Amino acid sequence: MSIETVRCILAGAMLLGYINTISLFYAAMTVGHSFSQNKIANSIGVGVAFYMIFQFLNVIEMIVIFLKNKMDFTNALVTNEVPYELIGTILGEALIVVAISLITTYTFTNYFLSRKLNLE
């Protein structure tokens, strides 16, 4: 895998990350405003909870990547070379987690906007 491919994957990951942050904000606001009192405080609490859940999933993902590619990390440290294929693998799997979180936050937002939130 070349450095240009890694750059393209990184640019895509950054773009999806920004979209994911906006989607997380909207999901937190819709879920928080479905409560009857303290809508803003509940929105902040739901946003923090969503963020913590997604960060926990990212930690699990990194542990799985490390355990799956343990020898590649060790070889990269010993040979002092940049492992572009390993970086591409890490970014590719991170994109999968970001896509899952985007689908999750979109589903929450759509569900609460269409069924639970009264926007009269």
Per-position DSSP letters for 5-17, written without gaps between them: HHHHHHHHHHHHH
Indicate the pTM of the whole model: 0.74
Report the pLDDT value the prediction gives residue 47, as an integer from 0 to 100: 92
Report the pLDDT value the prediction gives residue 35, as an integer from 0 to 100: 84
The answer on pLDDT for 120 being more than 60 is: no
Please name the helix (run of DSSP H) or strand (run of DSSP E) that holds residue 38, with its range, or none: none
Alpha-carbon distances, residue 21 vs 39, 61, 75, 98, 116 (angstroms): 20, 18, 35, 10, 22
Report the pLDDT value the prediction gives residue 117, as an integer from 0 to 100: 61
Tell me the pLDDT tens digit for each residue of 57-96: 888 888 888 787 776 667 766 777 767 777 777 888 888 8
Which residues, other chains included, contact 119 with Cβ-Cβ below 8 Å and sequence gap of 6+?
Answer: 113
The answer on pLDDT for 6 being more than 80 is: no
Least-confidence region, from 27-31, 81-85, 106-110: 81-85
